[in-house]
Amino acid sequence: MHNKTLAELRTGLNNGDFSSVELTGHFLDRIKTLDKNYNSFISVTEEFALTQARQCDERLAAGDAPNLCGLPITHKDIFCTEGIRTSCGSRMLDNFVPPYNATVVENFAAAGMVVLGKTNMDEFAMGSSNETSYYGPVKNPWHSNCVPGGSSGGSAAAIAARLAPVATATDTGGSIRQPAALCGITGLKPTYGRVSRWGMIAFASSLDQGGPMARNAEDAAMLLNVMAGFDAKDSTSVERDVPDYTATLNQNIAGLTVGIPKEYFNEGLNPATEQAVRHALGELENQGAKLKEISLPHSHLSVPAYYVIAPAEASANLSRFDGARYGYRCKEPVDLHDMYMRSRAEGFGDEVKRRILVGAYCLSAGYYDAYYNKAMQVRRLIKNDFDNAFNEVDIIAGPTCPNPAFEFGAKGDNPVAMYLEDIYTIAANLAGLPAMSLPCGFIDNKPVGLQLIGNYFEEARMLNVAHRYQQSSDWHQRAPGIE
């Protein structure tokens, strides 16, 4: 069962080949026996899942089941889940049990999906390797001495190791696409405003966006159908119709113009990654797409602009964790000030502290114009580059990241080297564009990701191109050497 896609599992359930209780039990057993090798889950919600599965079986039998009824999913531990601990990978929220569900979680519950648990992540989604999690690193199922990417490394590894068919994740600067690439799965970051952020613990609010992770584009489309849509509780949510993302998956891509940014094939790109990506682009050409070189001249400024804007917003968002309202509180504070200081000092890890310090500095009087304002101006230039490009092309394609998975500790004492992992992914967040990563090859048995970037609200076109590619390649069907 665990080798089937979500679409195949739905068919199996509807045909009565197995029940939701059997299906859910199968994945729970796998998590129990195998996840000690990966550490991809922070919480496993066994009882809750089996209760939900029983209810789903009843609904399926009664014939009143919603679309995805009885199919298992796991949520990144950044999405608030009512009655289920939501840690955000941090000691700060190790004891936090939300009284409500995030809108995304609600949407999946309404679609009838069964929650297996909550997946591991970098602390407050800050990282590219899952090494900053309070709950310890996640191991890449393809190579146990390598990172799975981050920050959604738990969701990506769980899917790659066949511990869950699909998962939710979030992407502020690459956290869906980079772990998808490093674990050999398919991940999509929607247009900013397409998916509600309500109940998704905030890192950098103008960049954060939730999205699906799955084995292939078809499953990602099924999930996006559930996730996307207007939510009055999120003021940045966009009121706009949601198409059926599965309806156009098979459309012919002949005649489509695919922009290839020359800046994404620079000297920082691993030559073997380049080879795999160019091969994939050749396949799109075989199907009749036209490749066109384009320029995104401000690409090199995306990482520096992001590392002003994201920490600035994080420093404001994370000020709510003060030991008073929820989360960690230090022992025996002598006064209020001491409680604030020690709760934050003990509750946050090093990377989170680094971001808060950088962010508070960039926003402080006298530096705001030099850093934050300047970064916002650069952000506009980056958006303009994409607007110009989309006057000439329908979609953009290139690598997701410069290198395949790296070893634990390889970038531990060099934050800038870690930050450069996101050199090709961050621009889509700064511009608010949808983007995805899909498997397009291997280097020494390590997966390589092809990135697609679409114009605003053109998730359907991206999924169409991805699906067509997956119809003529089998990279997404390969599994790491596991039972």
Q: Which residues are catalytic?
A: 76, 151, 175
How far apart are CB 25 and ligand GLN at their closest, in Å? 33
How far apart are CB 306 and ligand GLN at their closest, in Å? 7
The residue (of 184 and 311) whose beta carbon lies closer to ligand GLN is: 311
Phi, then psi, of 254 in degrees rounded to 5: -60, 135
What residue number has its CB nearest to ligand GLN?
175
Q: Which residues of 256-267 are buried (b: 16+ CB within 10 A; e: fewer)?
A: bebbbbebbbee
Strands 167-171 and 435-443, by their bridges, are: unpaired
Nearest of 132, 216, 115, 218 to residue 168 by alpha carbon? 115
Helices and strands: H and E segment counts in the chain: 15, 11
Residue 244, C-beta contacts closer than 8 angstroms, at least 6 positions apart: 225
* CB-CB contact of 197 with 236 (8 Å): yes
Collapsing DSSP to helix, strand or coil, 116 comes out as strand
The residue (of 152 and 225) whose beta carbon lies closer to ligand GLN is: 152
How far apart are CB 126 and ligand GLN at their closest, in Å? 5
The residue (of 193 and 259) whose beta carbon lies closer to ligand GLN is: 193
The residue (of 127 and 165) whose beta carbon lies closer to ligand GLN is: 127
* Beta strand ranges found along 300-408 (DSSP E): 395-399
The residue (of 106 and 171) whose beta carbon lies closer to ligand GLN is: 171
Distance CA 473, CA 278 (A): 14
Phi, then psi, of 355 in degrees rounded to 5: -65, -40
The residue (of 304 and 333) whose beta carbon lies closer to ligand GLN is: 304
> Rounded to 5 degrees, what angle do the CA atoms 124, 127, 132 make?
70
The residue (of 53 and 125) whose beta carbon lies closer to ligand GLN is: 125
How far apart are CB 131 and ligand GLN at their closest, in Å? 11
Which parts of 41-194 fold into alpha helices (H)?
46-62, 103-110, 153-160, 177-183
Two structure tokens written together for 470:
């997956």
Residue in this structure with the two tokens 């979030």, named with its chain if needed: 170
Sign of the dihedral defined by the CA atoms of residues 358, 120, 49, 169, in that order: positive
Sign of the dihedral defined by the CA atoms of residues 452, 456, 459, 464, in that order: negative
Residue 477, C-beta contacts closer than 8 angstroms, at least 6 positions apart: 215
The residue (of 49 and 358) whose beta carbon lies closer to ligand GLN is: 358
Two structure tokens written together for 239:
């009121």
Amino acid 436 reads M
How far apart are CB 414 and ligand GLN at their closest, in Å? 14
The residue (of 70 and 154) whose beta carbon lies closer to ligand GLN is: 154
By the criterion CB under 6 A, which residues form the site for ligand GLN? 125-128, 151, 171-175, 203, 310, 422
Residue 214, C-beta contacts closer than 8 angstroms, at least 6 positions apart: 5, 6, 159, 165, 166, 167, 185, 186, 187, 220, 222, 223
Nearest of 94, 56, 76, 54 to residue 349 by alpha carbon? 94
Phi, then psi, of 420 in degrees rounded to 5: -75, -10
Amino acid 122 reads D
- Virtual torsion, Cα 90, 96, 100, 104, nearest 10 deg: 20
How far apart are CB 173 and ligand GLN at their closest, in Å? 3
Distance CA 13, CA 387 (A): 44
* CB-CB contact of 103 with 85 (8 Å): no
